């Protein structure tokens, strides 16, 4: 539920279209609903502009399904539902709850799209240094789309062949925010940041040989970037990068 939804309920009560008791029924789970094993923050969309996101890893299929069911019960909510770090096993009971549910196997995301409204003011561009970084990049792409943004992407444009990146110069210059996913030494975000005047969100990935330390080398390299418009999220956190980029794109 967002501010517009809440205002409609109050106006409906004022106009006599909606009984106060029904209004209370719709609002009673604000600010959260206690399922025993989880407390669903139904108030989050009102505070932050997007509904609570479900982190799937470590949850049972039954738990994920129960949380999704409770979110779907919010009749006045038009927000899309997103489950991260999911699997086909977690998806099975969710699909039974809603036919619109989709499982994005490459990124490990489950989505239920209830609104196709574009709320971002510009384009979020997602780039990956290598093909092995695509799963993390796809997590960013799908998340940004579900959060109401126009998204473009291009993959395998790392510094080992910088001409591949420069071939997309026009798209880079059009973007309002850029997300760059890279493993190994994590150099690509610095290059992109040095070319652009917009925010660059860097995502270190756990891709590389032994001395990359499962993404730690890329993380440290990005944190030490000399491009001042680069900020960094955690290793493999394509979701977090897209969330931040989406907030920037709404400003």
The domain spanning residue 221 has which CATH number? 3.40.50.1970
pLDDT of residue 67: 95
Return the residue matching tokens 């940041």.
193
Which spans in 16-52 are helix H? Answer: 20-27, 44-48
Mean pLDDT of 39-49: 81
Domain that holds residue 241: 123-250
Q: What value does the mean pLDDT of the chain take?
A: 92
End-to-end Cα separation, the chain, in angstroms: 20
pLDDT of residue 50: 86
pLDDT tens digits along 119-157: 999 999 999 999 999 999 999 999 999 999 999 999 999
Q: Round to whole Å and give the CA distance between 231 and 234.
A: 10
- Same domain for 183 and 68: no
Residue 1 has pLDDT above 70, yes or no: no
pLDDT of residue 43: 78
Q: Round to whole Å and give the CA distance between 103 and 87.
A: 8
The sign of the dihedral angle between the CA atoms of 109, 90, 28, 76 is: positive
Distances (CA, A) of 121 to 115, 151, 168, 195, 251: 17, 11, 21, 21, 8
Mean pLDDT of 205-225: 96
Residues 138/107, Cβ–Cβ less than 8 Å: yes
Q: How confident is the model at residue 3 (pLDDT cuts 50, 70, 90)?
A: low
pLDDT of residue 128: 97
Q: Round to whole Å and give the CA distance between 1 and 87.
A: 27
- Count of structural domains, the chain: 2
pLDDT tens digits along 57-94: 999 999 999 999 999 987 656 789 999 999 999 999 99
Residues 227/194, Cβ–Cβ less than 8 Å: yes
239 belongs to a structural domain: yes
24 belongs to a structural domain: no
Q: Round to whole Å and give the CA distance between 147 and 117.
A: 9
99 belongs to a structural domain: yes
Residues 110/91, Cβ–Cβ less than 8 Å: yes
- Same domain for 145 and 59: no
pLDDT tens digits along 163-179: 999 999 999 999 999 99
219 belongs to a structural domain: yes
Lowest mean pLDDT, pick from 1-10, 50-59, 142-151: 1-10
- Same domain for 127 and 104: no
- Same domain for 183 and 79: no
Quick check: helix, strand or coil at residue 39? strand
Angle, to 10 degrees, between the axis of helix 188-195 and the axis of helix 216-223? Answer: 30
């Amino acid at each position: 539920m967002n501010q517009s939804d809440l205002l409609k309920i109050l106006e409906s009560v004022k106009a006599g279209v909606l009984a106060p008791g029904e209004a209370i029924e719709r609002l009673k789970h604000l600010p959260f609903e206690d399922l025993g094993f989880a407390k669903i923050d139904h108030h989050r969309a009102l505070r932050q502009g997007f509904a609570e996101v479900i982190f799937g890893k470590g949850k049972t299929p039954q738990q994920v399904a129960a949380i999704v069911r409770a979110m779907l019960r919010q009749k006045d909510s038009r927000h899309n539902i997103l489950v991260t770090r999911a699997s086909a096993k977690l998806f099975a009971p969710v699909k039974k709850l809603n036919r619109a549910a989709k499982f994005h196997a490459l990124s490990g995301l489950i989505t239920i799209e209830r609104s196709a409204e574009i709320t971002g003011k510009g384009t979020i561009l997602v780039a990956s240094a290598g093909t092995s970084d695509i799963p993390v990049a796809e997590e960013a792409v799908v998340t940004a789309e579900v959060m109401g943004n126009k998204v473009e992407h291009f993959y395998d444009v790392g510094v080992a062949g910088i001409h591949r990146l420069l071939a997309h110069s026009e798209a880079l210059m059009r973007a309002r925010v850029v997300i760059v996913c890279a493993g190994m030494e994590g150099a690509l975000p610095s290059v992109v940041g040095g070319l652009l005047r917009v925010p660059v969100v860097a995502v270190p990935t756990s891709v590389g040989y032994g001395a990359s330390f499962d993404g730690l080398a890329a993380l440290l390299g990005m944190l030490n970037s000399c491009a001042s418009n680069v900020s960094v999220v955690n290793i493999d956190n394509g979701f977090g990068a897209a969330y931040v980029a989406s907030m920037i794109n709404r400003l």
